[in-house]
Amino acid sequence: DTGVSQNPRHKITKRGQNVTFRCDPISEHNRLYWYRQTLGQGPEFLTYFQNEAQLEKSRLLSDRFSAERPKGSFSTLEIQRTEQGDSAMYLCASSLGGKTQYFGPGTRLLVL
Amino acid sequence: KQEVTQIPAALSVPEGENLVLNCSFTDSAIYNLQWFRQDPGKGLTSLLLIQSSQREQTSGRLNASLDKSSGRSTLYIAASQPGDSATYLCAPGRNSGYALNFGKGTSLLVTP
């Protein structure tokens, strides 16, 4: 399968803990996006990379959130000092330039 | 800020009917527009991509149109099947960075 993959698929953590999610994009795609989706809502943009450069961050991405894409391949999204409001599905997508964005299956985070 | 509205929020039809899902957006300065389907608890599956210079795209039983100047797109599904039951999401892409803005979606149920 050469689609976008995300790990872990599910994560349960206690408030105040740090969590890290990984996204592996389609191999030739230079753009990688992170979105967050809460129940009953459409996904909301968080940040995106072109190759290894992080070019835009949404206001939703507080300073507790950090994302990296070393070497322009996989990406990680870390949330420090998690809060219950961070509970959501975290979605990763990749694309070649401005073409179709392909989404991964998501990581569902529950903060207790 | 781009606002995306999808009407109706929910729709139930008998198998075999043709149906139209509507999407409107407030900022017509878009790069492209994607339609996705999302099954419960899953990631997003891309259905169609329309570039801003195009008026429509077709894939199988699906046809999407775009009227960029009026901020509208429609997704037409012909001869609906129970397997089409899902949430359909409309997402215009920004000119800068191509990040997608999503509506809340239309929840479709096709009954046998």
CB pairs < 8 Å spanning A and B: 60
Tell me whether residues B46 and A44 touch, CB distance under 8 A.
Answer: no
Percentage of the residues of chain A whose pLDDT score is greater than 70: 99
Tell me whether residues A44 and B100 touch, CB distance under 8 A.
Answer: no
pLDDT attached to residue B94: 87
**For residue A1, pLDDT beyond 70:** no
Q: What is the pLDDT of residues A45-94, one digit of tens each?
A: 999 999 999 999 998 889 999 999 998 899 999 999 999 999 999 999 99
| Two structure tokens written together for B95 | 């000119």
Compute the Cα dihedral for A77, B106, B7, B91 and give only its sign.
positive
| Residue-by-residue pLDDT tens, chain B, 112 positions | 899 999 999 999 999 999 999 999 999 999 999 999 999 988 899 999 999 999 999 999 999 999 999 999 999 999 999 999 999 999 999 887 789 999 999 999 999 9
A25 touches chain B (CB under 8 A): no
Nearest Cβ partner of B103 from A42, A56, A108? A42
A104 touches chain B (CB under 8 A): yes
Tell me the average pLDDT of chain A: 95
Taking only residues 82 to 101 of chain A, the set having a beta carbon closer than 8 angstroms to any beta carbon of chain B reads 91, 93, 95, 97-101
Buried b (16+ CB within 10 A) or exposed e, B19-57: bebebbbeeeebbbbbbbbbeeeebbebbbbbebeeeeb
Tell me whether residues B44 and A40 touch, CB distance under 8 A.
Answer: no
> Is the separation of the CB atoms in B21 and B79 below 8 Å?
no
A30 touches chain B (CB under 8 A): no
CA B108 to chain centre: 12
Dist. CA A91–CA B97, nearest whole Å: 17
Shortest distance between the Cα of A99 and any Cα of chain B, in A, equals: 8
